[in-house]
Amino acid sequence: MNNIRPKNIAVIGASGAIGSAFTKIIVDKYPVANLYAFSRTGEHFIDYSNEESIIAAADLASKDGPLDLVIVAVGILHDGNIMPEKTLKELSAEKFHHLFKVNTITPALIAKHFLPKLNRDYPSIFAALSAKNGSTSGNQLGGWYAYRTSKAALNMVIKNAAIEIGRRNKQAVIVGLDPGTVDSSLSKPFKKYVPDGKLFTPEYSAQKLLEVLESLIPEQSGKCFSWEGKEILP
């Protein structure tokens, strides 16, 4: 963010593992900033299924001034009986609808109402948690149909939004972030497949992602970056 200290910050999905870690680190890193940590259970309530609630959240977060940093930490890989598909035979409309609603539609609606609130006088950032699994060029394993396609669609939303917002807000940076494999309920069924040293605590992942965000410039808007700061190709 070109050494600009953010004054108004919003974290959406603040009750999850990474969202909570982001919130804690931001409180320590930017102690004088206004921080609005939105979730369905916390102090700042948001109902992701209700667009009016998203509008109210955007209005609340920007009531003291334009937003300098917005982090969208919502997402899903599995939920109850819904698990990533290994083969075509496991596909279902239910899985696709559910994962697209959480991974693509919700962040898109959040972008719709939060992006217009970004600061236009100083550098500002809107970042949504995506995944390298949404990269078609990087897909060498197959499977995980609904998850991969929902994240690929999210990356397209990010690209589109970056183009549109960039026309009137030249200092905005809109990106996707891959947090790596984080030790959380989302990754629990797959921990045994993670190479040594590649299962991160939420705090480590959030800290690395914040470092990435602080290094970005407007010319990088519309792209997706890993926790290491490497660009993830479409």
CATH of the domain spanning 8-232: 3.40.50.720
The structure's pTM equals: 0.92
**What burial letters (b/e) apply to 164-202, b meaning 16+ CB within 10 Å?**
ebbeebebbbbbbbbbbbbbbebbeeeeeeeeeeebbeb
Q: How confident is the model at residue 199 (pLDDT cuts 50, 70, 90)?
A: confident
CA distance 229 to 212: 5
* Residue 90 predicted with pLDDT over 90: yes
Segment 126-184, tens digit of pLDDT: 999 999 888 888 888 899 999 999 999 999 999 999 999 999 999 999 999 999 888 76
Q: Which of 10-24, 113-127, 189-203 has the lowest mean pLDDT?
A: 189-203
Nearest to 145 by CA among 200, 83, 191, 203: 83
- Structural domain boundaries in the chain: 8-232
Q: What is the pLDDT, as a whole number, of residue 185? A: 59
234 is written with which tokens? 């479409």
Q: How confident is the model at residue 200 (pLDDT cuts 50, 70, 90)?
A: confident
Segment 51-89, tens digit of pLDDT: 999 999 999 999 999 999 999 999 998 887 889 999 999
* Residue 110 predicted with pLDDT over 90: yes
Give the mean model confidence (pLDDT) for residues 7-26.
96
Of the two residues 138 and 209, the one the predictor is more confident about is: 209
* Residue 197 predicted with pLDDT over 70: no
Q: What is the pLDDT, as a whole number, of residue 182? A: 83
What is the spatial order of strands in the sheet that 172-178 belongs to?
44-45, 34-39, 8-12, 69-72, 124-129, 172-178, 224-226, 231-232
pLDDT over 90, % of the chain: 79
Q: Mean of the per-residue pLDDT values for the chain?
A: 91
CA distances from 222 to 55, 164, 233 (A): 23, 10, 11
Q: What is the pLDDT, as a whole number, of residue 150? A: 96
Of the two residues 182 and 115, the one the predictor is more confident about is: 115
Of the two residues 192 and 155, the one the predictor is more confident about is: 155
